[in-house]
Chain A
Amino acid sequence: MEEIKVGVYICHCGLNIAGTVDVEEVARYAQGLPSVVVARDYRYMCSDPGQALIKDDIKNFGLNRVVVASCSPRMHEPTFRRACQDAGLNPYLFEHANIREHCSWVHDDRQIATEKAKDLVRAAVRRVYYHEPLEIKERPLNPNVLVVGGGIAGIQAALDIANGEHRVYLVEKEPSIGGHMAQLDRTFPTLDCSECILTPKMTEVGQHPFITLLAYSEVEEVLGSVGNFKVKVRKKARYVDEEKCTGCGVCEEKCPWKVDSEFEVGIGKRGVIYLPFAQAIPHVATIDKERCVYFLKGKCRACEKFCDAKAIDFEQEDEIIELEAGSIILTTGYDLFDAGRIPQYGYGRYDNVLTALEFERMTCAAGPTEGKILLRDGRQPESAAIIHCVGSRDENYHEYCSRVCCMYGLKYAHLIKENTQAEVYQMYIDMRCFGEGFEEFYRRVCDEGVNFIRGKVAKVTDVALTEEEQGKLIAIAEDTLLGRIVRVPVDMVILCPALEPRSDAEDVAKLFTINRRADGFFMERHVKLDPVATATEGVFIAGCCEGPKDIPDTVAQASAAAAKALSVISRGRVVIEPTIAQVNEALCQACGRCEEICDFHAPKVISKDGVRVSSVDAALCKGCGACAVVCPTGAMSIRHSTREQINSMVEALLEV
Chain B
Amino acid sequence: MAEFEPKIIAFCCNWCTYAAADIAGTSRIHYPANVRIVRVMCSGMVDPIYILKAFEMGADGVLVAGCHEADCHYLNGPLKCDAMFEKLKKVVNVLGLEEERLRREMIAAAEAPIFAELIEEMVKQLKKLGPSPFRERVKV
Contacts and interface: CB of A to CB of B under 8 A. Distances in A.
A74 B14 contact: yes
Given A74-B19, A106-B30, A625-B41, A647 B50 contact: yes
B111 to A, nearest CB: 7
A47 interface: no
A275 interface: no
B74 A629 contact: no
Contact of B40 (A102, A105, A622, A625): A625
A509 interface: yes
B9 A653 contact: yes
Contacts of B16: 515
Contact of B26 (A101, A518, A653): A101
Interface string B3-32: 000010100001110110111111011110
A58 B29 CA distance: 37
Interface string B34-47: 00111111101111
B14 to A, nearest CB: 7
Nearest to A523: B109
B70 A510 contact: yes
Contacts of A654: 7, 9, 54, 57-59
A649 B57 contact: no
Interface residues of B, number: 53
Contact of A107 (B30, B41, B67, B77): B30
A12 to B, nearest CB: 16
B57 A626 contact: no
A113 interface: yes
Contacts of B73: 513, 535-536, 622, 624
Interface residues of A, number: 54
Contact of A629 (B30, B33, B47, B53): B47
Contacts of B111: 518
Nearest to B59: A654
B110 interface: yes
A600 B41 CA distance: 16
A646 interface: yes
A69 to B, nearest CB: 14
A647 B45 contact: no
B96 to A, nearest CB: 19
Contacts of B124: none
A622 to B, nearest CB: 5
B70 A509 contact: yes
A626 B42 CA distance: 8
B108 interface: yes
B49 interface: yes
- Most chain A CB within 10 A, of B7, B9, B53, B111, is at B53
Nearest to A655: B57
Contact of A516 (B47, B71, B84): B71
18 contacts: A101-B22, A101-B23, A106-B25, A108-B30, A119-B36, A506-B70, A510-B70, A516-B108, A535-B73, A597-B80, A622-B73, A624-B41, A626-B80, A629-B48, A638-B41, A638-B45, A643-B50, A655-B57
